[in-house]
């Protein structure tokens, strides 16, 4: 199984009711041999329309944050916890998260085997790490079951609240240091 055939299967998924309201599923996008995977919450309206992750307003802000550390979206793999837009952008339900994570996200992580997973916001952090307090853990590396995670806020929150925007900028600078120290670029990724 490779990431492209996984994406194909995700585009056809009907495992939970979210498929009924979607225009396009959003499997994720980016480099195949990634060192870093970014995981958000769920597609919004623009992502649903294009089938591409983080292309709406919060995506622009994420591009800006990546720019601070001289990364481009093609250098990383971006996806979300659930692959179909929830109606009216509501939060994905516990069951939707569980099903989508089990069916797709786990496999994407296995196949891509990233050296670092960046969790953007509460939904992705809680789904992968259990209930954690972002206030306490943002900007830090957390290791769980042999994987390394870096927690930050969701870009949609960073856009709305200046205080969170400032914290996210700091987090991304820390992320840059971690990338350089971890020599992720040495293996030809950056
Ligand atoms: N927010 C997310 O979490 N994912 C997207 O793809 C877009 C917005």
CA 80 to chain centre: 5
Ligand 1 binding pocket mutation candidate from 49, 56, 84, 100 (most atoms within 8 A of CB): 56
Rounded CA separation 33/99 (Å):
26
* Mean pLDDT taken over the chain: 93
Cα pseudo-dihedral 59, 160, 167, 61, rounded to 10: 20
Check if the beta carbon of residue 28 is closer than 8 Å to that of residue 53.
yes
Cα(40) to ligand 1 centroid in Å equals 5
Contacts of 55 (CB under 8 A, 6+ apart): 46, 47
Q: Which atom of ligand 1 is nearest to the CA of 81?
A: 3
* Per-residue pLDDT at 183: 60
* Per-residue pLDDT at 184: 62
54 CB near ligand 1 (under 6 Å): yes
Cα(92) to ligand 1 centroid in Å equals 12
pLDDT in tens, 4-53: 999 999 999 999 999 999 999 999 999 877 789 999 999 999 999 999 99
**In the chain, which residues have pLDDT < 50?**
186-190
Q: Which two tokens stand for residue 177?
A: 């240091």
Q: Which atom of ligand 1 is nearest to the CA of 79?
A: 6
pTM: 0.94
124 CB near ligand 1 (under 6 Å): no
């Amino acid at each position: 199984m490779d990431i492209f055939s996984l994406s194909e299967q995700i585009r056809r998924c009907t495992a939970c009711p979210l498929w009924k309201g979607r225009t396009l599923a959003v499997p994720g996008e980016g480099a195949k041999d990634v060192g870093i995977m970014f995981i958000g919450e769920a597609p919004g309206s623009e992502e649903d329309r294009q089938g591409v992750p983080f292309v709406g307003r919060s995506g622009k802000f994420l591009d800006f944050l990546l720019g601070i550390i001289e990364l481009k979206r093609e250098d990383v793999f971006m996806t979300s916890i659930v692959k179909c837009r929830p109606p009216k952008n509501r939060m994905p339900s516990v069951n939707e998260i569980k099903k989508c994570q089990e069916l797709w996200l786990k496999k994407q992580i296995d196949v891509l085997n990233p050296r670092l997973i960046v969790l953007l916001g509460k939904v992705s952090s809680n789904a992968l790490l259990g209930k954690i307090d972002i206030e306490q853990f943002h900007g830090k590396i957390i290791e769980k079951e042999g994987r390394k995670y870096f927690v930050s806020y969701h870009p949609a929150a960073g856009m709305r609240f200046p205080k969170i925007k400032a914290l996210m900028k700091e987090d991304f600078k820390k992320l840059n240091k971690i990338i350089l120290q971890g020599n992720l670029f040495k293996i030809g990724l950056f």
